[in-house]
Homo-oligomer: A and B are copies of this chain.
């Protein structure tokens, strides 16, 4: 392809983008105009992909971390031939229902690998993808898993803390198949980057062990050559691409307004004139479109060869590869948890909450080799490493990632692993630090990715480490998040049940919340059914008459409720205890079940070592709540439960007061 032809391919991106933005009345032209040559170099010469089979397991992954430049991605997908991104979609950019949303929305079948927009998430996702790739390659061999992960990134992503965390850890892990193209246009929304940053960004990458090349981002040949060098280097690579924001529109290029300043028809006309593009809006000349579609077919031979290699695998290995790609669970895992659950019902031990999860994790290890665990420097107190080896530059078969004290990155990496597929991603830390991770958890919920967010130290039960480490508002804040299945098991029996549910749950993330302190058994009676599946259930029915009081509790406070029930029953008050490990699952039950559990007309008292917000839904207008009204304090856990009045005595006396 001649130099001129390549320029035309890039300009096709430019014109599709501004035509769509002009039609929508708003959008971000800075990225598609500024990165058109870089994108063209990547998609027409390097990216391994097959628009006819967008979810090909061994495709290179491409992440537009500067997601506001979404028209760049949509243009690329349309031009290279992804069926789901037709011209009609481009023309409905930013309209309700269009595949071409304001920011790219996760849709791997359309070629959109992850949702991006909140800055820094995309490159952290890309790191997760690169980790998944390296791990799967170690499991299945380079003939089966051998792809690059590319991400486009702007200044915003790199200013964000999560971006810096990503630079640091990717360099440490030497993920050589991760390649970033930085849109070094020296402009952010506020204007010149000089307003808020002075450092040599390329040097910062070098310090972290990256391979860095600096290149003219409008010189397609130079970018292409640099990409080839980057692919060969054993370190993760940065292409620092010097670009002009909004290049092509004289009025805006290189200016603050280039980012997302209002476009006018005259701007489009000026660019048509300047770039010699005498075509109507949304019209891509035939030869240009043909060349793009040919680029979209570029990897077909590789695609075929890969399928042959997969077909040639030993049947068991092939089945295993296909299983993990499909996200299907293997034989045997459920029996292991079911067996654990049965034993827990008969055991008098009271293990620390988080160590129950760690024990379950150990049991799963031989059955779920696709499970990868990330943890933010809390290996010992959370216990989820044990039998796992660390994933390191020298040991790609390790399934445990020492994330360092980088919770936000950990969460977003887990999202990237889940979006990549072939692995089940866990992210483990203390519940108090979930706030650091929360923006990534939100993205998992928004994308519907089956990430397992595991937390320990879930209440004032943390004790002496004090209020900084004691979540009181976090259960409520996570329950508020749509599509996040929050589970807080009361004992080892419920823990096994919740882990079963978490592993089965494929349409969104789960949050599994465990106490630091010991969780005595609350479910001794054998039942076949996984009662946690109902979200809430009657753990102990009232005795000696019609139920007068219903005590509702979760997690470590279920034992408090049971002790309160003993008092109340002793006083002749028929009292039931309802355990509520997962509110959202309870909400999904039918009205009759919910009413039967909650006991209409009974006095209700909620018990949770957390704030009340949300509980009124279950307590009714007469109900009471025993929990926290403010932050915790530093002191022994038992003293704190007393101090804050989260005791069986309090619960019983609240119930008596209401009777």
Contacts and interface: CB of A to CB of B under 8 A. Distances in A.
Contacts of A157: 405
A409 B161 contact: yes
B165 A161 contact: yes
A119 B483 CA distance: 29
A436 B439 contact: yes
B159 A160 contact: no
Contact of A207 (B68, B199, B443): B199
Contacts of A319: none
A157 B436 CA distance: 13
Contact of A115 (B165, B406, B468): B468
B467 A105 contact: yes
Between A116, A443, A614, the greatest number of chain B beta carbons within 10 A of the residue's beta carbon is seen for A614
Given A101-B466, A477-B480, A199 B195 contact: no
Interface stretch (A357-365, A568-576, A632-640): A632-640
A161 B159 contact: no
A644 to B, nearest CB: 10
B204 A207 contact: yes
Nearest to A401: B196
A585 interface: no
Contacts of A467: 105, 446
A472 interface: yes
The residue among A96, A378, A446 with the most chain B CB atoms within 10 A of its own CB is A96
A547 interface: no
A523 B103 CA distance: 36
A171 B159 CA distance: 13
Nearest to A392: B195
A119 B435 CA distance: 12
Interface in A364-410: 375, 377-381, 390, 402-409
B102 A466 contact: yes
B635 A483 contact: no
Interface in A97-149: 97-98, 101-103, 105, 115-120
A102 B156 contact: no
Given A168-B159, A432-B118, A482-B630, A96 B640 contact: yes
B477 A476 contact: yes
Interface in A54-75: 67-68
Interface stretch (A220-228, A322-330, A559-567, A616-624): A616-624
B190 A198 contact: no
A168 B197 contact: yes
A504 interface: no
B189 A26 contact: no
Interface string A603-631: 00000000101101100110000001111
Nearest to A439: B435
Nearest to A436: B439
Nearest to A27: B464
B103 A466 contact: yes
B613 A479 contact: yes
Contacts of A229: none
Contacts of A481: 473, 477
Interface string A469-502: 1001110110111110000000000000000000
A94 interface: yes
A117 B199 contact: no
A163 B204 CA distance: 14
Given A164-B164, A197-B168, A379-B190, A465 B117 contact: yes
A133 to B, nearest CB: 20
B196 A171 contact: no
A9 to B, nearest CB: 27
A350 interface: no
Contact of A636 (B96, B171, B406, B617): B96
A233 interface: no
B196 A207 contact: no
Contacts of A68: 465
Nearest to A600: B621
A438 interface: yes
B634 A405 contact: no
Contacts of A183: none
Contacts of A408: 161
30 contacts: A26-B464, A68-B465, A96-B636, A96-B639, A97-B633, A103-B468, A105-B466, A156-B405, A161-B162, A161-B163, A164-B165, A168-B197, A171-B198, A172-B198, A190-B375, A195-B390, A199-B208, A199-B209, A203-B207, A433-B439, A435-B438, A446-B468, A446-B631, A476-B477, A477-B480, A477-B481, A613-B613, A614-B614, A614-B616, A621-B621
Which 4 interchain pairs have the tightest Cβ spacing?
A: A161-B161, A96-B635, A196-B404, A164-B164
Given A159-B404, A190-B380, A195-B402, 19 more contacts: A95-B636, A96-B633, A101-B633, A103-B469, A103-B634, A118-B436, A155-B405, A161-B161, A168-B199, A188-B404, A189-B378, A189-B379, A189-B381, A190-B378, A190-B379, A473-B480, A473-B482, A476-B613, A482-B630
